[in-house]
Amino acid sequence: MLFTRVPRPALRPFVKTLWAMDETERRPTGAEREHVLPTGAMHLVFRLSDHPLRIYDDADDPEGRSIGHAIVGGARASFYVRDISRPARSVGAVFYPGTAALLLGVPADELAGRHTPLQELWGREADQARERLVEAGTLPKALDLFESLLSVRLPKVRGIHPAMAQALERFAVSSDVREVVEQSGYSHRRFIEVFRHAVGLTPKLYCRVQRFQAALARAQSRALPAWVDVAVAAGYSDQPHFNRDFREFAGISPGRYRELLPTYSHHVPVRR
């Protein structure tokens, strides 16, 4: 069971999506692990179940490591492997690029490519927030409370860097980094530094992940378009280029992805 919600107007410049999930039954594949594919965005998740998030270095890692119950998933450009052997209840938020330092108090590049326990950023407030979310009872009530917890942090924020806001708007329609740098008024080196500080990824890598995202969205069509058509529509120069990026970001081939038919496009069950 999955609930998603567009945040309140005050949160909308910072939070793209709020969600709550209750996995009451084991996934029908019988898999105990899954590849979680990159979105290029930062995520904040409170796990309301007793067992914490456990991730693995790769599909053959026998032990993995426990991350905790309140986690910040930094912007990333590669998949990670997580445990799905037990159903979990969670609430979470997807942040817009450039808002990490505003809502979490830490530059995005310090959190990129890894999972960070929220206690390291919010201290005792993270534990108190989770306790209240667990006590909320139903997922809709937990989601309401979660939204309120994020909203109370708004007085501390100032707003996204204007040059980065303009760059992200341009990257939504173009991946021409050189052109966007010229429009920003910064030197190339300074632009990359400021962008990585705000978003967590370099401009080029961010655009690659967004192109991969566009391909995933097109691949979800009920008509199941041919991969070559998906690649062209998403802006890839050719099929081999698309295949290389897909394997890098997802850890599997496009064909294998379609064979697995994931219920959620970014969560791909895998068998060891």
Most confident of 91-105, 114-128, 213-227: 114-128
Among the residue ranges 114-118, 219-223, 229-233, the one predicted with the least confidence is 219-223
Q: Tell me the C-alpha distance between 66 and 51, whole Å.
A: 9
Most confident of 118-127, 213-222, 260-269: 118-127
Average pLDDT in the 204-225 region?
Answer: 86
Average pLDDT in the 190-204 region?
Answer: 90
- The pair of structure tokens assigned to 23 is 């996995």
Among the residue ranges 85-94, 95-104, 112-121, the one predicted with the least confidence is 95-104
Q: What is the CATH number of domain 161-262?
A: 1.10.10.60
pLDDT band per the 50, 70, 90 thresholds, residue 242? very high
Are domains 2-156 and 161-262 of this chain identical in fold? no
Superfamily of domain covering 2-156 = Jelly Rolls (2.60.120.10)
Work out whether strand 80-83 and strand 53-56 pair parallel, antiparallel, or are unpaired.
antiparallel
Average pLDDT in the 249-261 region?
Answer: 88
Q: Tell me the C-alpha distance between 192 and 92, whole Å.
A: 29
Average pLDDT in the 72-84 region?
Answer: 93
Question: What is the pLDDT at residue 201?
Answer: 92
Edge-to-edge strands of the sheet including 80-83?
65-68, 53-56, 80-83, 33-36, 267-270
- Does the structure show a pLDDT above 70 at 29? no
- Does the structure show a pLDDT above 70 at 130? yes
Indicate the angle between helix axes 124-135 and 139-151, nearest 10 degrees. Answer: 150
| CA distances (Å), origin 52, targets 45, 47, 200, 217 | 11, 7, 25, 30
Average pLDDT in the 200-222 region?
Answer: 88
Among the listed residues 170, 192, 53, the one whose alpha carbon sits nearest the alpha carbon of residue 109 = 192
Edge-to-edge strands of the sheet including 2-5?
2-5, 15-22, 89-95, 42-47, 70-73, 115-117
Question: What is the pLDDT at residue 35?
Answer: 93
What does the domain layout of the chain look like in residue ranges? 2-156, 161-262
Residues 158-174: tens digit of each pLDDT: 667 778 888 888 888 88
**How many other C-beta atoms lie within 10 A of the C-beta of residue 50?**
10
Among the listed residues 148, 138, 76, 149, the one whose alpha carbon sits nearest the alpha carbon of residue 113 = 76
